[in-house]
């Protein structure tokens, strides 16, 4: 396996694992995670629906990244999601500062994946 494919795989696993971890933990400990959503969302959507919906989204995004199909789009969506989390929680930057690194990982994966398609043998 060439280096570029290994780098792509490692980035996909790393980013997917973060989203999958958050999805599982949100399901197991919802009271610890509801505060990451902006107040207007918590006022607009019932907490359980908000948490369950976002956990499902994170699980699907993780699976998409791991499958490696149209990686550029999955990575772009991951980067936008992380950017939303960062911007929405700037007042808690001491907690979400790690998301900045993951955002740049997802952005790098997206940029590196655009224009590449899987070749059938």
pLDDT digits (tens, 9 = 90+) for 54-92: 999 999 999 999 999 999 999 999 999 999 999 999 999
Query: What pLDDT score does 119 carry?
Result: 54
Q: Do residues 103 and 83 make contact, with C-beta atoms less than 8 angstroms apart?
A: yes
Give me the mean pLDDT over the 94-113 stretch.
98
Token match 């959503």: residue? 37
Query: What pLDDT score does 19 carry?
Result: 98
Distances, alpha carbon 1 to alpha carbons 4, 6, 7, 10, 48, in Å: 8, 7, 10, 13, 43
Token match 């902006």: residue? 38
Query: What pLDDT score does 117 carry?
Result: 62
């Amino acid at each position: 396996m060439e280096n570029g494919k290994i780098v792509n795989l490692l980035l996909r696993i790393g980013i997917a694992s973060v989203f999958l971890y958050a999805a599982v933990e949100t399901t197991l400990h919802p009271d610890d995670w509801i505060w990451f959503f902006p107040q207007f969302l918590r006022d607009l959507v019932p907490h359980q629906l908000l948490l369950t919906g976002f956990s499902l989204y994170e699980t699907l995004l993780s699976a998409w990244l791991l499958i490696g199909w149209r990686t550029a789009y999955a990575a772009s969506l991951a980067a936008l999601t992380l950017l939303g989390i960062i911007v929405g929680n700037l007042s808690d930057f001491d907690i979400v500062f790690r998301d900045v690194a993951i955002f740049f990982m997802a952005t790098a994966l997206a940029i590196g994946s655009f224009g590449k398609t899987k070749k059938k043998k």
